[in-house]
Amino acid sequence: MKQYYIYLHYKPDEILFYIGKGSGKRAYDFTTSRSDWYKSIVRKYGRENITVDVLNCADEADSIYQEQVFILMAKEQGFELCNLTDGGDGLLNPSQKTREKMAKSARGNTSRRGKRASQETLEKMRIASLGNKNALGYKHSPEVIARLKASLRGRTVWNKGLKTGPHSVEHNEKIRLSSLGKHYGNR
């Protein structure tokens, strides 16, 4: 069973700036599905300087409720949170400011879906994709090669001491016996 919790993120000066709910490693994930405002705060102070408090909850419903309560209390105490909603599941109840931002970004957005590019554009795209874009065939200088060798010297290979050749007859027999009666594929 998943362990749900709410988490609080603090700036280095111990000022609360974000409250969230999650499970697993969500409290320590500073990049995935975060607002630009949140990311700018983390960039400014550095993720290693962000303090994380985790408070366990009984289940997901409890974590949703606790997140909403903590956000409400923090806002009432004057904390400027970078939460875009009042808590709960994502953008179920976005603030008026968030609604205005979403509407503004959607205005004038004309998608190219279903439209064909002109022959001129296709030719420009073809020419742009020609050539070696990823440094394929690039040769390192002798100095760089020496530096790479020096950095790898003394490391143990991941499979040192492990048998990597074909299985013994006894081992193959164990594999055969363990898979007896199991059906693989579409039968």
Helix, strand, or coil (residue 54): strand
- Judging by DSSP bridges, how do beta strands 16-23 and 51-56 pair with one another? unpaired
pTM over 0.75: no
Each domain of the chain, given as residue ranges in start order, spans: 4-95
The tens digit of pLDDT for each residue in 53-77 reads 999 988 888 888 899 999 999 998 9
Q: Is the dihedral of CA 52, 58, 61, 66 positive or negative?
A: negative
CATH architecture for the domain at 4-95:
3-Layer(aba) Sandwich (3.40)
Beta-bridge partners for 9: 18, 52
The tens digit of pLDDT for each residue in 110-154 reads 666 667 888 998 888 888 777 756 666 678 889 999 998 988 888
For residue 86, give every residue at least 6 positions away whose Cβ sits within 8 Å of its Cβ, in sequence order, or none. Answer: 68, 71, 72, 93, 95
